[in-house]
Structure 1
Amino acid sequence: METLQSYKSFTDDKSIEELQFNILTDITSLENLKFELQFYKLLLDKPIFKPHEINLYETLVKFKNEIQALNENCTNLLNDLSSDAKLIGKKIECEDLACDHFFIKEHDAIKHKIFNFKEKIFIFKFRLFQFIESVINN
């Protein structure tokens, strides 16, 4: 499955309030994704799969490892967003155009990481759902 779309920044023209709102929205979204990833891990631990599937255990372990990596990536992005929220608060005090550019550039870099992360999540979920559908007991 290929990337659905490429990243496009719309950060330059946003007010501080819009940036703060977007940060809070991203935090909520990532926290929900962490909860979702925990559910997938729990699901993979349940005895709901056909017993004699080839490489079932290895595939389940692979998915669990991917979940762990995605969860760690999500935690790192949440930390980045928390730092960005503090920086955006300081942007209010900034009167310099170069200062504005710095904050917008930092915010945009985080937004780009989040965009890429969400693309990885979509691809992971697509693969996971296909796998589960093919090996689940009826």
Structure 2
Amino acid sequence: MEALKTYKSFNSTKSIEELQYNISIDISKVENLMVELEFYKFLIEKPIFKPHEMNLYEKLTGFKKEIKTIKEKRTSLLNDLYSHSNKIRNKIECEDLACDNFFVSEQDDIELETFNFYNTLSEFKFKFFQYLQSVIMG
């Protein structure tokens, strides 16, 4: 797996419309992620694994816990994205530099939170898929 990237902001030069668009894309991705997480949980619960695999139950239980944690983080992130989206709508009425700086900072914070969430998700998927590949009956 390649090294994780670090977050870099380019928001200071973006228009309100760009910020709104970016948040709406993030919201859509995070909303749709629920289907993927439910599928992973579904896979874990099916009898598709090699018999007599060492620590299978413990490993699968660990993955279930990770999926639950990711779902919880997803819900929290989604709430933060909705909240920020509403704040961006209010920014249209604000026209001073201090207000602009506040919204850029808020945008950076939510993008960093989203970025970190997807890094965590990528790490999970990497481990999960490697493990499944080794224990699924073929």
TM tier relative to shorter chain: over 0.9
In structure 1, stretches of 5+ residues that fail to align are none
1:69-116 Cα distance to aligned partner (Å, 9 max, x none): 001101111000000011001110001110111111111101001001
Q: Which residue of structure 1 lines up, in the alignment, with residue 125 of structure 2?
A: 125
Aligned ranges 1:22-61 → 2 under 5 Å:
22-61=22-61
8 Å contact 1:44–1:64 — kept in the other structure?
yes
Q: Which residue of 1 aligns with 2:107?
A: 107
RMSD over aligned Cα, in angstroms?
Answer: 1.0
TM-score (norm. length: structure 2): 0.96
Distance 1:32 1:64 in 2: 19
Query: SS state of the match for residue 12, structure 2?
Result: coil
CA 34–3 in structure 1, closer or farther in 2 if over 3 Å, else same: farther
Q: How many residues align?
A: 138
Residues 4-35 of structure 1, C-alpha deviation per residue, up to 9 Å, x if partnerless? 21110111111111111101100111112221
Could you say which residue in structure 1 is the equivalent of 2:70? 70
- The SS at the match of 2:94 is coil
SS state of the match for residue 13, structure 2?
coil
Residue equivalent to 1:18:
18
Q: Secondary structure at the match of 2:53?
A: coil
For 1:46, the aligned partner's letter is K
TM-score, length of structure 1 as denominator length: 0.96
Letter in 1 for 2:79: N
SS class of match (1:12)? helix
Task: Mark the runs of 5 or more structure 2 residues left unpaired by the alignment.
Answer: none
SS of equivalent to 1:57: helix
- DSSP-derived class of the 1:120 partner: helix
Give the Cα separation in 1 of the matches to 2:62 and 2:11.
Answer: 37
Give, as a single letter, the amino acid of the residue that structure 2 aligns with 1:74. Answer: R
Once residues 3 and 70 of structure 1 are traced to their aligned partners in structure 2, the CA distance between those partners, rounded to angstroms, is 21
How far residue 2 of structure 1 moved from its aligned partner, in angstroms, is 6.5
Give the residue type in structure 2 aligned to 1:110: I
Structure 2 residue matching 1:9: 3-state secondary structure: coil
